[in-house]
Chain A
Amino acid sequence: MSTWPTTREMDIETDGFDTVDMSINVGPQHPATHGVFRMVLTVDGERVVDCEPYIGYLHRGLEKLTENADYRQSMGWWDRTDYLAGMCCEGAYCMAVEKLAGIEVPDRAEYIRVIMMELSRINSHFMFFGAFGADVGSMGTSFIYGWRERERIYDLMEEVAGDRMFPTYFRIGGVTMDLPDNFEQRCRWVLDSVKKGLEDFDGLLTGNEVFIERCRDLSPVTPEQGINWGLTGPMLRATGLKWDIRRAEPYSIYPHLKFEIPVGRQGDVFDRYMVRMAEAYQSVRIIEQCLDEMPKSGLVLNPSLPKTLRVNDAECYLRTEGTKGEYSIYAIAKGGNKPYRMKLRSPAFCSLSALREMVVGTYVADAIIILGSIDIVLGEVDK
């Protein structure tokens, strides 16, 4: 028939009945790729024999833009890297510039920053639980469960900063404005609902036999492998390595706060999920401590800042614990009001580079949830 492509006819005429590997193009628009990620899976039946990830569909030239803009202008772009936890990115950017220029931050601002960063972390983890549940096949229920708490956190952020996702609330040397009057009460209410939301996830996913069967023992990673592949954050902690930049190379007021570093045992998908679950509880704990210990009044922005920030020759590699792992910024200043170079070391980018090693040999359905367990955010992967 003329409408058939010639390749099909050739297939039919082939001698014998050898099976051939099939390559499936997953993405850039596929429900499970969390944005515009693309991978080409070569499958033998249901087994994945090769996987080639392709990224860059969301590349916006963040680093080039930052080099060409004033220190304070670029903040909005850095928000949009890890767009599920915008405040964490803002925090990292501000701290990098502060480190370069040696700017002090008032105590109250530090507390506010930590509260907002931890709220963002909870926010991002809820997105992970929801999207991961959807990857495993929970038909949107987990997604909406996650969104319920996210909405509450976003509402709180809007009250504080005036915007939900990309607030640009932090400033170099502090934060834009002080907290609203009833913040403490509202924040505690949100934290209570977050705890309830986490318990809901325990009921929906964690205690579900099918979920456990799907995730347990899937793509176990040893700490050595994890370090070699550049995994950080929850991915690395799931392997059992107790390493968190908030403790190992602390920044801000984290040395003064009590929190545990949850670790997994064998680095499988289930452990990654569990570590994030426990981390969300720890974040709640951190925020509660901050609310208790925070100076009740005071400056929130360093008053001695110049009108135009000019930084002389300096170089720093500022590491923070982002929601996906080590979110670090390598910054160089060479005078002037623009940075000479700002390099983002994005955690999901590095975790994603190990995707092939983790995926090969599993089933197609597993490949999807392993990808989900990395918790990629394409804004951060593609910069």
Chain B
Amino acid sequence: MAGSRLSRWFDRKGWSDLIVGAPYIWLLVFFLLPFLVVVAMSVATKTSTAPPISWGGEVPLVSWEAYARVFGDGLYLRAFLTSVLNAAVAMVLCLLIGYPMALGLVRVAPAWRNILLMLVILPFWTSFLLRVYAWMGLMGRNSWFNGMLTDAWNVLVPVDWAVRSIPMMNTNFAVVLVMVYTYLPFMILPLYASLERLDPTLDEAAMDLGSKPARVFWDVTLPQSIPGIIAGGMLVFIPAAGELVIPTLVGNASSPMIGRVISDEFAQARDWPMASAVAVVLLLMMVVPTMLYSHFQARAEGSK
């Protein structure tokens, strides 16, 4: 009987198979299949039908023109460069600001810890878009915030350099600032998780052996928190590099980030193959280093 065989399999190891298989099925259905659709679109040809793509009538059915443009046209390369640079700067700043905060969270008295952790997560209770709009208000020429910075600037620098207002909105600076603000919790939380697991007796041992606190941090704490740094770095860098909303709202069209380019190609130029090709290249740029890292990480752990 088929039914009894099924139930026997289920009794024996059904649950474990299902639980192990679920993430793979999830990846297959919600990542791999949509990605293959995008890959297929990237080798299509633009047409004036609905939907505006076709795979042509002649052999070969695919066209590599979109990829040729991605690597041939300076605009796309520049947008990739802007995205990677902005994301890298945001990541480093998040690390510099987030690390002391995470360390503080670990070292503070337990009663305070939960309150402070709550404060890190608190901004998520408000819509992300709303918080970006709040920054737009702060950075605008006529805001009290900009006015305060302008006054400070005018006091500090020679009279010749005095300005009416500091141009912050619609600059690359604004993009990085808002990205650091937005992604900071994604850096703090993995760092906190990794620092919290460290054994405090190791610090004490180092100090017993005569290390000064700075030296203890450098020799003991920092090396042990590297997995947290890498996890936080990736959580910041990857979404920041593909960011669309922040550069659209506070950025400048003269240095577009790649997310904006994809959106413009898709919607404004109605060039789906081109948008798909850029998206595929972006994904490979993000996924290949991540996979290489986890591959070597697994090998390093296996050899221990």
Q: Do A and B bind each other?
A: no
Chain B contacts to A: CB under 8 angstroms: none
Chain A contacts to B: CB under 8 angstroms: none
